A and B are shown apart, each in its own frame.
Chain A
Amino acid sequence: QVQVQESGPGLVKPSETLSLTCTVSDGSISSFSWSWIRQPPGKGLEWIGCVYYSGTTNYNPSLKSRVTMSVDTSKAHFSLRLSSVTAADTAVYYCARLPSVSDRFDTWGQGTLVTVSS
């Protein structure tokens, strides 16, 4: 069964860029679509965006101006960059698999906490 694992810095300074990577365990990265979802401490889930197997991307309109997602099939990982971060971006960031477009999130990573603080 596929596993996905987030990695990246746990602390980012305000105004800087948050960068995370999600590694896919079974080499299936080019066969599926992938997404980032975050959860501020004590709050609900917020979708950040998707990168589809075609390579196209789709972002939450509220974050679109700051988000970039990409896939590196040679390294079996996909990435998230969120620019100009503030304390409001402090959250647990999850990566998840989409079996197909407009489908469910059937596999989630364990999540990684990113704190924005100077």
Chain B
Amino acid sequence: SYELTQPPSVSVSPGQTASITCSGDKLGNKHACWYQQKPGQSPQLVIYQDTKRPSGIPERFSGSNSGNTATLTISGTQAMDEADYYCQVWDSTNVVFGGGTKLTVL
């Protein structure tokens, strides 16, 4: 079965750029989505089709996907961005989530 690997944690200082990676075999051949989940809340879509932002998601969120790695980049990270982030793809007819990355803003 297809697997996605994310680092368990990433730390960033306020105002700096955070990069969260998601790795999988030939991941660049698939479309990646990213979800943000804050404590006690349901996940929220922040990036879809590798690079697109849903309405209402700040421009500081961006995505890329090439080779074996998809990356979620948060520019000018704010304290409110502290959350768990999950990548997700479709592998044929199955949905696969990465294990999640806890972003700490300190």
> Which chain A residues have a beta carbon within 8 Å of chain B's beta carbons?
35, 37, 44-47, 50, 58, 60-61, 94, 102-106, 108-111
Whether the pair A44, B94 counts as a contact (CB closer than 8 A) is no
Interface class of chain A by DSSP: loop
Select which of A47, A94, A110 is within 8 A of B95 by beta carbon.
Answer: A47
Q: Which residues of B contact A37 (CB under 8 A)?
A: 95
In the assembled complex, how far is the CB of residue A99 from the closest CB belonging to chain B, in whole angstroms? 9
Q: A104-B45, A105-B45, A108-B42 are in contact. Are A35 and B95 (CB under 8 A)?
A: yes
Considering the chains assembled together, what is the distance between the CA atoms of A35 and B88 in angstroms?
14
Considering the chains assembled together, what is the distance between the CA atoms of A18 and B88 in angstroms?
26
Considering the chains assembled together, what is the distance between the CA atoms of A61 and B95 in angstroms?
10
Q: Which residues of A contact B99 (CB under 8 A)?
A: 44
Select which of B42, B43, B48, B94 is within 8 A of A60 by beta carbon.
Answer: B94
How many inter-chain residue pairs (CB < 8 Å) link A and B?
50
Whether the pair A61, B45 counts as a contact (CB closer than 8 A) is no
* 30 contacts across the A-B interface (CB closer than 8 A): A44-B86, A44-B97, A44-B99, A44-B100, A45-B35, A45-B88, A45-B97, A45-B100, A47-B94, A47-B95, A47-B96, A50-B95, A61-B1, A61-B94, A94-B42, A94-B43, A102-B31, A102-B90, A104-B48, A104-B49, A104-B88, A105-B33, A105-B35, A105-B43, A105-B45, A105-B88, A108-B43, A108-B44, A109-B42, A111-B42
Q: What count of chain B residues pass the 8 Å CB interface test?
A: 22
In the assembled complex, how far is the CB of residue B84 from the closest CB belonging to chain A, in whole angstroms? 8
Asked if B29 is at the interface (CB within 8 A of a chain A CB), the reply is no
Q: A104-B48, A106-B45, A108-B44 are in contact. List 14 more A-B contacts (CB 8 A).
A: A45-B43, A45-B86, A46-B97, A47-B97, A60-B94, A94-B43, A102-B31, A102-B93, A104-B45, A104-B88, A105-B45, A106-B54, A108-B42, A110-B42
Considering the chains assembled together, what is the distance between the CA atoms of A47 and B54 in angstroms?
21
